[in-house]
Structure 1
Amino acid sequence: MSQEPGEVWEQFAVGLADMARDLLAQESVQDTLDRVVEHATVLIRGCDEAGILTVRRGEVLALAATDDVVRLADRIQQDLREGPCFDAVADRQPVYAIEDLRQPHERWSRFAPQLRKLGMGSMMGFLLFTEDDSLGALNLYSRRSYTFDETAQRAGWILASHAAVAFSAARTHAQLSHALETRHEIGEAMGILMGRYGLSEETAFKVLKKASQDHNIKLREIARQICETGDKPDSPLE
């Protein structure tokens, strides 16, 4: 028995709310991305597999995937430098779709046949972006052609919008956590230099900074070495 449109959207809204709470509970960026693609296969009707990729300096980087076939599809887009999700990231287009991979496709004439060989019949790509940043693309795959109708495309765009916010928030949290850890290690290292060698706070920081520059090592790594050994870096102050 088919569902009425109102019932479909009500069920989707409940699932989306559950997804939002689930993504908020994840402890890392990778956990967040892994859960996004898992939710996509549940919430988007007809979606058999899902993945998230990004393009940096022309190179496709797979960030999450529900199956190896998705990773293969990402690799094909990288090798051919062609495909809807590659274009979604590179050209900042919000939505791309291939309804029937069995038919010749003028825009992605090389990519479509390769994806068909992997057993896929149709796909969609959605740009993951916030107001300030382009994060990647969410890719949805179906083994059947003409699976993703207008309702599925609209639902995919809504899901991708929520996923982008969760992705951005998780990344910001990770960056802040890293910054706090770095600040703590630097402060601890400065404390060691001040206590053991009688340096002022300003001089202790200069020792760290100069050692970082002289050895081309990040300041945090210099601080970690001092915390582990208690020894002052061998770079003399000018």
Structure 2
Amino acid sequence: MIVVMSRSDRQSFGLAVEELSNAHRTSTDLCSPFLRVLPVTGVAISTLGAPFGTETVCASDASAARLDELQFDLGEGPCWEALTTRRPVLNSDIRHHGNPAWPVFTQSIDETDVGSVFAFPMVVGTLDIGAVDLYSRRPRTLTGVQIADATMLVKIAARQVLRRVLLSHTMKPDPDADEGYSRRVVHQATGMVLAQLNVGASDALLILQGYAFSHARTVREVADDVVARKVDFTSELNGS
């Protein structure tokens, strides 16, 4: 079956992209844009594991928050699998077709009003940030277009979450941060990351900062290693 998206649907999606992209300037709730353009009941966005910690960044309702809490407590579920595999986990009828890898989580779902769950990994370059969980009270599927739209929104949300994490944590101080040479090295390293990962300049710098934070190093130290080709984000992303 061919699904034709109306012009209003695409306009709504464009507005959601714009709103999410500007969230760091407007302090917009990160969950709301997903609800406006996707046929789901609730959304939860969370960071998972080291180094960013395991916590809910935002949840659209109590059921979405509970979905996150269950997975945190049990250490299993779609959000963990999505981040581990770096692939979306799409479960259209979780009560009847739960994943054998999440036996306790699937059983715990009986206590909630969740019928289907869709988990998308939040990654920025080589950094594993967390996941976005979308749920519906009834079993349902997402179309290819809806999956693509969700993936795009999740990519934007990942950058916003990383920005918020870096702002809320103290990074290792760099005594040379104000020196011209230091700025030139960071600028050069940013350009190299940009080329390695085919991302924009702001995202490349964000990846440098996130990598430095996750390894308890200064941005200057990481930039030096990137320029010296001791750190190659392409290799890191491929696991080599």
User: Is residue 2:19 matched to residue 1:25?
Assistant: no
Shift of residue 111, structure 1, vs aligned partner: 1.7
Q: Unmatched 5+ residue regions in structure 1? A: 27-31, 184-238
Label 1:149 to 1:121 Cα distance change in 2 as closer, same or farther (>3 A). Answer: farther
User: For the Cα contact (< 8 Å) 1:92–1:134, is it kept in 2?
Assistant: no
2:16 equivalent in structure 1? 15
The residue identity in structure 2 corresponding to 1:97 is: L
User: Is residue 2:105 matched to residue 1:99?
Assistant: no
Shift of residue 6, structure 1, vs aligned partner: 4.9
Of 117, 124, 128 in structure 2, the residue corresponding to residue 123 of structure 1 is 117
TM-score, normalised via structure 1 length: 0.61
SS of 1:102's partner is: coil
Return the index of the structure with the highest Cα Rg.
1
TM-score, normalised via structure 2 length: 0.60
SS of 1:110's partner is: helix
User: Is residue 2:76 matched to residue 1:82?
Assistant: yes
* Structure holding more helix per residue: 1
Label 1:24 to 1:177 Cα distance change in 2 as closer, same or farther (>3 A). Answer: farther
Moved more, 122-131 or 35-44: 35-44
User: For the Cα contact (< 8 Å) 1:83–1:108, is it kept in 2?
Assistant: yes
Of 52, 55, 65 in structure 1, the residue corresponding to residue 59 of structure 2 is 65
User: For the Cα contact (< 8 Å) 1:52–1:139, is it kept in 2?
Assistant: yes
Q: Give, in whole Å, the separation in 1 of the partners of 2:42 and 2:31.
A: 8
Q: Give, in whole Å, the separation in 2 of the partners of 1:121 and 1:57.
A: 30
Shift of residue 143, structure 1, vs aligned partner: 0.7
Q: Indicate the RMSD between aligned Cα atoms, in angstroms.
A: 3.0
2:4 equivalent in structure 1? 4
Q: Unmatched 5+ residue regions in structure 2? A: 178-240
The one-character-per-residue Cα deviations of 1:198-236 (angstroms, maximum 9, x if unpaired) are xxxxxxxxxxxxxxxxxxxxxxxxxxxxxxxxxxxxxxx
Moved over 6 A (4+): 176-180
1:50 equivalent in structure 2? 43
SS of 1:104's partner is: coil
